[in-house]
Each structure stands twice: as structure tokens, then as C-alpha cells.
Structure 1
């Protein structure tokens, strides 16, 4: 009934104005659209036909700071998106943003009387949306509370949280469970907290709709989280692809000035292991932030010894934790050639032929470099304890680098 009432209000407004009108939710997802009035652009056609506004368009609209508007304003055109100028009226009730009423206004010719008509319609729609959102808020709160319980292990009876997610229809039992976490890179341009949270919600909600796995999404602190169950064991390639899409979705909303990073926990058996998958996802997220070669995306299964290093307290992850012999090597190896050789040699279990092949160098060159490493560090590479110290040290260096 509520949807029909809102549709009637939007259709009536569009007919009075003789312009195309849409109602979006606070995350710029299409809720209701009027018929065309000869002014449709590529963006509107996409939104209506595909029910998908697109991350770039969402980012453009949110980039005008519409979430904080209290009166109608103009969202400028974007030719590259096939998007004409729009009048945007933020629908609010008791201070809460409930939706965005957008009217195509290519030449910005709407009169004050027409804009007032938009505002009056927005008030009527707001009264309807307010009741709807109270119900949706309860749904979201229940979902996120259940997700928090499962992921953080804050409940002695996880069955209650599992039943809640099952009741809400967002998650089902599956043979396997995974957790993917995404957040903004600390080194990115500062983004307001509310805008960052909105971007994380848009991205995780989008992943929830598009994936074959059963998914419950939540925003915990500064992280967007996907808790998923799978009937078939998902491949690491599939999880990496999904995490990449999640990062891209956040970046698309916020623009390229903000960079998202992602971490994927291991694949575990059943929802009762969700807290383990989440713990691993957080370590992987830390690796994505600190280890440059991972390029902002880390999978727990690929961390190896880095997992041990990254579980040290933040106060311990300083250059002082790098073994002294390795610090000497770094000081006397300004181009990093010896360090790269050592890392490769240790990763390949001390195999000289394999190391020479991997580095594309002659064995004589490799032997010379290994001799120099031993001279500088004062450690024999034939000693297993020395190799263990240096290998862990290389990982520490990579993390604190």
C-alpha cells in the first residue's frame, strides 16, 4: 500500500511539472520513477531499465553533499555519465534523511512555484517513508546485531544469532562460511565519517544482491563486512574477484581520491566458525594496509608467516623489531638488490638453482650476492636458525617498511 501511495504522489508531481521525476533512497538506489516526459537522459534510462543507478552516478550525487542539504538544490550535469542537470530535494522527517526526490531540469528553468510543489510532495512522501524506515531500521539493527554476535564471539549461544539471520531471510546455513572486510585506506584523502559509512553500506549491500552465496552485510566501526555462507567451497580466485569488486564499488561512490582496501578470511565449516573467519579477515585487512606488494587486497590463505608478524600489537611493529643483522644489510644495500636476493632465497627454502632461475641471474652472480649477505649480516645461511631469523626479519621489515 505504501509503495502504491508513493508512486501516485510521484506520478502526480511529474504530470503537474511535465518533467520526469524519480525517488531514490538515501543510498541513491531507485525506489520509484514516473513515466518519461521527453526529457530522459542515459542515466535515467539505465536506472529505470536496470534498476541500477551505477556507482559513478551515486558518487556524483553524493559528492554534492546532498546528505546534508535541508532544502532543494541543483545536481549539475555530467556529460560523461549521460546525465542532465537535476533538481534534488532531500526528504527529511524529524531531522532524518529519508530519500531524494529528483526532477530532471536540464536548463534549470523550474520556477519557484514548481520548486514549492516539489517540496510539498516531498512532505507527503516523507510522512509515508518515515513509517517504512522505522521498520527497515529495525530489520537492519537486528541483522547487524546478529552479525556482530557471530563475528566477535560476543555470545555464548550463537544459535540465537543464526536464527535471527534466518528469520530475516538474509542468510541460510551452508557448508562453508567466509568473511570479507573492506575499509578506507588510512593514506587516502580524508573522508567524512558519515559519507564513508554510506559508501561502505552501498558497496556491501550491492555485493549482497549480486552474489550467489547467502550474504549478511553490516558496517562495523569503520569496516564494511560481508558474512557469507556457501553450499560449494568457493575458490580463492572467486573470493579475490569479489573483494576487488567491493573495493571498486566503494571507490566508485567516493571517487578516486579515496582508496579502499580489503581483507578476506579463510574458508571455514559452518556459521559457528564465522568468528575465526572474521579474525583472519582483520589480519588480512591489516596486511593490505601495511604490505605494499599486496596492493590493497590480502587473502588470509596467502599470508604465510606474515600472519604471525601482523598479530603483534601495533606498538611492537616498529623498525626496532627488525633484527640488527638485517638492518645492517639494508643500510649497505641502498638499491635493495641484496635484500631482494635474500627474500627470494629464503622463500625458495635455500635452493640456489631455483633462486638463480627466479631472479634470472647466473649462479656465479648469486653466489657472490649470498657471500656479501653473509659478510654484512655476520650470519651463515647454511644455519637453519639464522635463516629463520632472517626470514621472519624480512617479513617484519616488509610490514614496518
Structure 2
């Protein structure tokens, strides 16, 4: 109520609709009135309860948080601009005050003094609000760290606190969701921590007993009192509204004491999303990993191309490797069924046979041997997860579906047999 009262007092002075966001770009307050309308940008923030992508980008572009004076941000395409004031408490940024710019060339001195005074009070008010919220968030963080930690005594205490404090609904199954930010993907300029916190606020809002979440380092962890299937996971990821966020779910466990295992599984699945986005997209579930459950636990950071079988290394280094690898992968994925592999690749069978013959010649392996196919399939999967030959495999689609190349009309009788 303290912040709301300041906003209404300032509105009475400015007669301009006001918006107040906290440092995490969540809506804290807005002016209430009947005779003055909020503009479209303000309405979007009021409806979504958070700063829009455009607002976040403008704060970054005009370096608003570094200014001690009101910053005038011009509107887009000739539209109305806004004045944004950074709110602080003892030098710490606590939020932002925004309102339409209707002052012409210069903000009148008396108006500027009123804005500055209100901003100082709002900065302190937001600090008090954030302190209360951080106390609650810090408590949740400690409990989740306790549940996920190795110390049995801390884990028992955290479980009692979560159950006794009714922080989560009692359930027969619990699952862990892990959120991360895709490295290298362009975003709105927000820090990874802020991006994760905003995503968390949408799928695990404070005070909800349907989930319990917190940002821990470079990931956000959410404990949910139910099993999560692939459809649930995709829906939860979409709910975050952030294109840079990726997600993974661990398998369901029977009690809060076992959530640590679900968290470990979710982190392994997230590793799959990071290492093989072509296969997993932006989310993966432990229950759908298959053999990758084991492979994704390999110490890839300590491995290099020299750890791959010599035959595969020769194949990766050969001319037209993308075309050959695509043919081999399709052949192996269909269990050595050349007819089905050629159908999937939209290739004539003679073209596929020729490319497989090239593979056999390059590697020195007999592809008609089931154990050889199994070893190659495993080695190719490991190479993909290692990132070895990524460029070759990434361009295979365009090369592999081009049809029959010149001279590719041979057959491979050994494979046909």
C-alpha cells in the first residue's frame, strides 16, 4: 500500500499514467484513474504483470539503470515516448518508474523535483518489498538446496519444513524440472539470472503450493507434486514465454526424500538438450532419453576426437562426409533396412547402396555384420554428443537429399544380402 500511495500522489501531480516495475521487471504498481488512459505499452505490462521485451530492450539501449536523472526514451515509428526513472535505495537499483513523455523540450524544474522526490521514496519502498520477498525466496532456496543436497540431516529437515509448512501439495509422486538458458542464443539483453527468474515467476509463482522453485546458479529448479510427461514439459516451457529458455524433466519419484534423484535425471536430460538440439529441440524428459541416459553421463569435457574408433575418424575426415554419414545414420537407425532407409532419405536405393559402399571402403568395416553396425551406431551417437563432426552432420540434410549424384549408380551386394 505504501508504494501504491506514492504512485497515486505522483499521478495527481503529473496527471500522467504511471507504471512501476521492480529490478526483475515484474509489475509492482500502476496508477488508478478513470479520466486518463494508459498507452498500449503500459497496458501490455499491466496485463502481463511484467515489463515487455521492448521495454527491457529500451532500458538496455539507453543505459537507464546507470542514470541518476530521468531518461527520455523516444517512441517507435513516431509514437509517444516515455520518461523512465531508475529507482534506488542506498545506490542499489530497486526498480523503474515509467510514464508518457508529454513535456516538450524540457521537464519543468518543479515537476522534476516532484518526480525526483517520489522516485526516492519509491526506491525505498521497493527495497522493503524486495527484502520481504528475498527473505521468503531465500528460505525456499535453502529448503530446495537441502532437499537436493548430500547431507541426510539437512535433507530430512528440508522435507519436514516443506511438508509441515504446506509449501507443496502432498502427492504420491514428485518430479523435478530444470530450466537453463541456451548459450549463444540471442535474447532481450537480460542476464541469464533475470531470464530464469522471470521464467520461474510464470511457472512457479511465489506462494503457490502446486510447485516450488528457485534459481540456483545457472539453472532454475522446480519441484512439482506430480509426474511430468513430454506434453506437460512442452507446455511448461511454453508458459515461460522466453525463447532463450530450455527445460528438462526428471522421472517421477515417490516422496520428497527422493527428489534428489529426479533432479539428477533432469540435469542429465538438460545436458542432452544442450548437446543435441537437433534431436531434442528445447526440452527433454528423462523418460524419453533411451540409451542417452547412459551416454549423457560420459565425461565429454575430458574426451576428444582421438577417443573415437579409428574407422569413424577416417569417415569423418573423408570427402563428402556429410552425405556418407547421413546415409549411414539412416541405415543404422532402421536396423540395417536399406529399403526403409532410402525411403526416409528420399533416395533411390542404388544411391543409398553406393554411399554405403563408400562408407565400407573408407572405414574398412563390413556393414552386413550386426555387431559392426551396433558399434558404429554407438560411436556416431557419442561423436554427436561430443560435438565432433557437427558441421559435417549439420549440413548432411542438404547434401543427402539432392538425389543421385554422378556415378552413384552402383550396388552393394553385401548389404543387400
Name the TM-score, length of structure 2 as normaliser. Answer: 0.80
Task: Please point out which of 14, 29, 35 is paired with 2:32.
Answer: 35
CA distance in 1, matches of 2:340, 2:14: 74
Gaps of 5+ in 1: 252-258
One of 74, 77, 80 as aligned partner of 2:75: 77
Structure 1 pair 153–191 and aligned structure 2 pair: CA distance change class (3 A):
farther
Q: State whether residues 321 and 396 of structure 1, in contact with CA within 8 Å, keep that contact through their aligned partners in structure 2.
A: no
Aligned to 2:42: 44
**CA displacement at 1:139 relative to structure 2:** 0.5
The SS at the match of 1:91 is strand
Which of 220, 235, 244 aligns to 1:241? It is 235
Given that residues 88 and 124 in structure 2 are in contact (C-alpha distance below 8 angstroms), is that contact kept between their aligned partners in structure 1?
no
User: Is 2:132 aligned against 1:135?
Assistant: yes
Call closer, same or farther: CA 1:245–1:340 in 2, change over 3 Å: farther
Cα separation, 2, equivalents of 1:130 and 1:53? 18
**How many angstroms does 1:153 deviate by?**
4.0
CA distance in 2, matches of 1:389, 1:356: 21
Greater RCO, CA 8 A, separation 6+: 1
Post-superposition Cα deviations, 1:169-201, rounded to whole Å, max 9, x if no partner, equal 643233333333333333346998x83211221
Distance 1:335 1:309, change over 3 A: same
SS of aligned partner of 2:358: helix
**Structure 2 residue 321 is the aligned partner of structure 1 residue 324:** no
Structure 1 pair 281/132, CA: closer, same or farther in 2 (3 Å)? same
Residue of structure 1 in register with 2:200 after alignment: 204
Task: Tell me the secondary structure at the aligned position of residue 110 of structure 1.
Answer: coil
- The match for 2:334 among 340, 348, 358 is 348
Equivalence for 1:394: 380
Unaligned ranges ≥5, structure 2: 389-417
CA contact (8 A) 2:228 2:249 kept: no
Number of aligned residues: 382
Structure 1 position 18 matched with structure 2 position 3? no
Matches within 5 A, 1:94-243: 94-106=90-102, 109-166=106-163, 170-188=167-185, 195-209=191-205, 214-230=210-226, 233-243=227-237
Whole-Å Cα distance in 2 between the matches of residues 123 and 236 of structure 1? 48
Contact 2:15/2:36, CA 8 A, preserved across alignment = no
Once the two structures are superposed, residues 71-125 of structure 1 have per-residue CA deviations (whole angstroms, 9 ceiling, x without a partner) of 4323442459xx7422222222223322322222245553232122122122233
User: CA 1:355/1:190 → structure 2, altered by over 3 Å: closer, same or farther?
Assistant: closer
Q: Give the Cα–Cα distance (whole angstroms) in 1 for the partners of residues 38 and 349 of structure 2.
A: 68
Deviation at 1:236, TM superposition (A): 0.8
Report if the CA contact (8 A) 1:213-1:228 is conserved: no
| Matching residue within 239, 248, 253 for 1:263 | 248
Q: Deviations over 1:279-320 (max 9, x none)?
A: 222222222222241344333333333333322224333222
Shift of the 66–198 alpha-carbon distance from structure 1 to 2, 3 Å rule, reads farther
Task: Provide TM-score, normalisation by structure 1.
Answer: 0.83
1:281 to 266, 269, 273: 266
Q: Distance in 2 between matches of 1:119 and 1:40?
A: 22
Change (3 A) 1:390 1:188: same
Q: Contact 1:180–1:243 (CA<8 Å) still a contact in 2?
A: no
**Contact 1:139–1:168 (8 Å) recurs in 2:** no
**8 Å contact from structure 2 (residues 21, 51) kept in 1:** no
Contact 2:10–2:114 (CA under 8 A) maintained in structure 1: yes
Q: In structure 1, what is the Cα distance between the partners aligned to 2:215 and 2:334?
A: 40
Answer with 1 or 2: which has the greater Rg: 2
CA distance in 2, matches of 1:270, 1:244: 27
